[in-house]
Amino acid sequence: MKASDLFIRCLEHEGVKYIFGIPGEENLDVMDSLVDSPIQFITVRHEQGAAFMADVYGRLTGKAGVCLATLGPGATNLITGVADANMDKAPLVAIAGQASTTRLHKESHQVLNLVGLFQPISKYSIQILAPEIIPEIVAKAFKVAEAEKPGCSFMDFPENIADMDVSDKAPLRVLRHTAPVPPEKKIRQAAKLINEASYPIIMAGNGIIRDQASDSLVTFAEKLNIPVATTFMAKGVIPFSHPLCLGSVGLQSKDYVSCGFDRADVIICIGFDMVEYHPYLWNKAKTAKVVHINELPAEVDEYYTVEVGMIGNLGAGMRQLAEQIAPKKQTFWKNLRDLIVAEMQQHAENRAFPIKPQKILWDLRQVLAPKDIVISDVGAHKMWVARMYRAETPNTCIISNGFAAMGIALPGAIAAKIVQPAQVVVAVTGDAGFMMNCQELETAMRLGTPIIVLIWHDNEYGLIKWKQEVQFGRSSHIGFGNPDFVQFAESFGAKGYRVERTEDLLPILKQAIDDKTVVVIDCPVDYSENMKLTEKLGHLVCPI
């Protein structure tokens, strides 16, 4: 058989169902081998969209999403999405065609050192130099991408290697890492520390989602009566409606939930990745003792000096730890919880127009079921989504936070709908982020993936303006124009709605769900609330 046929067989063996990408001259053999494969190739309109789709696919399934490009500009277009997945710990395998090995030693058309280019943004970057090693390379690529902490593997496949014949080779047996139970000694040490604590608090991170340990977290918190704050990327690991949930941490400004960390003498970090929320923002005085519960040792950081590290399976670790800890009688966090809930409800009946960010998110939450999915783009709206959207289950509010890449929402929503076709999927995006990958509307229409794109429209780079005004008291070069988003959507065959009164948003959202097609909603937003929030948080006095 041909090497490209073996390559596709290996992908099938790894359980690959979809490849997101664009055909090119240097991956012709791979594309031809896909014709007879059960793998569905999703042709996109830009390679960045392909990488973002693979990124979100990996987050939602725990299996590596796969994206494919040709050499040169095709491969470089993958970089943003690949870097996003790698830094946000989403399993992804990226594949690029490459020129024949007979011209890699010299200056040649579209030839770049792709292995070197992807090395800093991947866990494993390799070129396939012989057909016989394809099974080993593919097996390692998936094993590394999906192992804790997940990330990207990159394979460069030269066109002459793909065309070679190979015999007596087959895919290798799939082997995956299983985390052990944390050592009993460490469990006892952690239990002693928490038993002696007066004000422990839990920081729940993205690793809990990866380890499918949300139920264990809730049981752990309930049994011990310890409040839980989640990072942006761990929203939903404890339902917001749960009385022990203190919402999300991640803003650089002091917030109500920060008061809990100021009071805490022990912070139990479970599945926490340093990239999610830097410790200098929540352990400035370096006085809180840190219990690190994760599958891998902690990163070295002066504000994250670990008192006890429990390394191993998160669910098993929490269950065994809970058996050795007496329930806490603390109630200090209840005032915080009440204030956070009250703030969520503050603008529920607000009719001001343009619409306040809090109101947009309130209405959106009203129309979505607990397991429906919101994919947030990056911009000022992301801060509001992270702070105000009430997630009830894991992986229902996807936020790019480690790399924080604009443009993820629309292609990410397409991938989410492929993974969860029964759920409503909403891409929450700014007008800037939407225009970065708006061409994927055609992909969504062609695939028949009914998603809703909710555009927060302000004709500015709103987050940058917010930062500029905080730092300099004025803004600079942040304005731009936009197309008519309704007509733009309709030009693709999608439906478009423009919100012209605040009271119209809720019925438009309900109609968009009923339309069961691709829908774009143009929603003007009042971002004067950004500076009001900054001022409010700047004068915040902790109630405990």
Considering the domain architecture, whether residues 324 and 400 belong to the same structural domain is answered as no
Could you identify the residue written with the tokens 């608090």? Answer: 201
Q: How far apart are CA 41 and CA 39, in angstroms?
A: 6
Domain ranges, residue 515? 346-536
Considering the domain architecture, whether residues 113 and 232 belong to the same structural domain is answered as no
In angstroms, the first-to-last Cα distance of the chain is: 70
Q: Which two tokens stand for residue 470?
A: 């905080």
Considering the domain architecture, whether residues 359 and 484 belong to the same structural domain is answered as yes
Considering the domain architecture, whether residues 89 and 210 belong to the same structural domain is answered as no
Strands (E), 86-163: 92-98, 124-127, 152-158
Considering the domain architecture, whether residues 423 and 323 belong to the same structural domain is answered as no
pTM reported for the whole predicted model: 0.95
Name the domain boundary from 305, 332, 359: 332
Name the domain boundary from 332, 357, 380: 332
Q: How far apart are CA 89 and CA 319, in angstroms?
A: 25
For residue 43, give the CATH number of its domain.
Answer: 3.40.50.970
pLDDT for the residue numbered 353? 97
pLDDT for the residue numbered 497? 98
Name the domain boundary from 269, 303, 332: 332
pLDDT for the residue numbered 348? 93
Considering the domain architecture, whether residues 324 and 406 belong to the same structural domain is answered as no
Considering the domain architecture, whether residues 325 and 393 belong to the same structural domain is answered as no
Q: Is residue 396 part of a domain?
A: yes
Considering the domain architecture, whether residues 401 and 309 belong to the same structural domain is answered as no
Of residues 30, 163, 158, the one with CA closest to residue 104: 158
pLDDT for the residue numbered 544? 66
Q: Is residue 299 part of a domain?
A: yes
Q: Is residue 238 part of a domain?
A: yes
Cis amide prior to 149 (ω within 30 degrees):
yes
Contacts of 539 (CB under 8 A, 6+ apart): none
- Residue pair 344/356 in contact by the 8 Å Cβ criterion: no
Considering the domain architecture, whether residues 122 and 196 belong to the same structural domain is answered as no
Q: Is residue 172 part of a domain?
A: no
Domain count, the chain: 3
Q: How far apart are CA 507 and CA 510, in angstroms?
A: 5
Q: Is residue 447 part of a domain?
A: yes
Considering the domain architecture, whether residues 271 and 380 belong to the same structural domain is answered as no
Q: Is residue 106 part of a domain?
A: yes
For residue 286, give the CATH number of its domain.
Answer: 3.40.50.1220
Q: Is residue 168 part of a domain?
A: no
Of residues 95, 33, 41, the one with CA closest to residue 67: 95
The whole-number mean pLDDT for each consecutive block of 10 residues of the chain, a chain of 544 residues, reads 97 98 95 97 98 98 97 97 97 96 85 95 97 97 96 97 93 85 95 96 96 97 96 96 93 81 94 92 92 94 95 96 93 88 92 97 97 97 94 96 94 98 98 98 98 97 91 94 98 98 98 98 94 81 72
Considering the domain architecture, whether residues 376 and 276 belong to the same structural domain is answered as no
pLDDT for the residue numbered 107? 86
Considering the domain architecture, whether residues 37 and 142 belong to the same structural domain is answered as yes
- Residue pair 520/497 in contact by the 8 Å Cβ criterion: yes
Cis amide prior to 354 (ω within 30 degrees):
yes
pLDDT for the residue numbered 102? 85
